[in-house]
C-alpha cells in the first residue's frame, strides 16, 4: 500500500464553475468527466488530473501573454501617432 492511499487528494475546485470554449472549467481546468467522476477516482488518477489541470492552466496563460504582446505591438504610442499625422500632412 502506498502512502497516497492513506490521504485523500483534495478536489482542485475553487468554486468558479463555468466552462470555457474547450469544455474545461474556468476555475479548476478539469473536463466535465473529470469533475463528474472525481469521487470515484483513485489517488493516482486524481494526481494525474491535477497535473493535467496545471498544464492546461499554463497553456492558457501562455496564449493570453502572447495575445497581449501582439496587441501591444499593434497599438501605437501617442508620439508615433503625432509623427504619423505630421507625415500625412506633409503629403497633402
pLDDT, tens only, 15-54: 988 999 899 999 999 999 999 999 999 999 999 999 999 9
Say what the pLDDT of residue 3 is: 57
Any alpha helices (H) in 1-92, and if so which ranges? 32-36, 43-74, 78-91
What is d(CA 24, CA 67) in angstroms, rounded to the nearest whole number?
20
Domain boundaries, the chain: 3-91
Distance CA 7, CA 46 (A): 12
Among the residue ranges 12-16, 51-55, 84-88, the one predicted with the least confidence is 84-88
Whole-number pLDDT of residue 38: 95
pLDDT value, residue 71 = 72
Distance, CA of 9 to CA of 38 (rounded, Å): 10
**Residue 69: per-residue pLDDT:** 79
d(CA 40, CA 20): 24
> 73: pLDDT confidence band, cut at 50, 70 and 90?
low
pLDDT band at 67 (very low <50, low <70, confident <90, very high): confident
Amino acid at each position: 500500500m502506498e502512502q497516497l492511499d492513506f490521504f485523500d487528494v483534495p478536489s482542485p475546485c475553487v468554486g468558479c464553475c463555468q466552462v470555457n470554449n474547450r469544455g474545461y472549467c474556468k476555475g479548476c481546468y478539469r473536463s466535465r468527466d473529470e469533475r463528474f467522476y472525481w469521487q470515484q477516482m483513485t489517488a493516482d488518477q486524481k494526481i494525474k488530473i491535477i497535473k493535467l489541470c496545471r498544464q492546461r492552466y499554463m497553456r492558457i496563460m501562455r496564449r493570453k501573454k502572447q495575445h497581449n504582446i501582439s496587441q501591444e505591438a499593434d497599438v501605437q504610442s501617442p508620439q508615433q501617432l503625432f509623427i504619423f499625422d505630421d507625415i500625412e500632412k506633409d503629403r497633402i
